[in-house]
Amino acid sequence: MSEPSCSWSTPDLAGVEAVCLSSGGDFQAARMLAEGEASRRFAEYLLISWYDRERDFESPAHVSECAGNGPKNGYIHYALSHGARLKVEVDGGRFVFFYTPVAW
């Protein structure tokens, strides 16, 4: 018996700046690289969500309640609904991070 897959639409990333980088490192190296990009664009920022394709982990956990081969993009929907303004994609989508500026 095959598991059902999600039929989520492709998220609209209008208003989100996208940056593609290469690190060749692990998750921590990719995150440090992404943090650098966020700090160049925002005085203060918050990491809203992320995805690690190799380990198939996302944060917040379980926002993509998909089974089977459906798209794992709940972390994108979460980021967009929480004000994401920057998407940093590292190593061709191996790692993806979403940030928003913090205003005081």
pLDDT of residue 3: 43
Structural domain spans, the chain: 17-101
State yes or no: pLDDT of 6 exceeds 60. Answer: no
Rounded CA separation 23/81 (Å): 28
CATH of domain 17-101: 3.30.1490.340
* 57-101 residue pLDDT tens: 888 876 666 555 556 688 888 899 899 999 999 999 999 999 999
Among 7-16, 27-36, 61-70, 95-104, top mean pLDDT goes to 27-36
State yes or no: pLDDT of 7 exceeds 70. Answer: no
State yes or no: pLDDT of 29 exceeds 80. Answer: yes
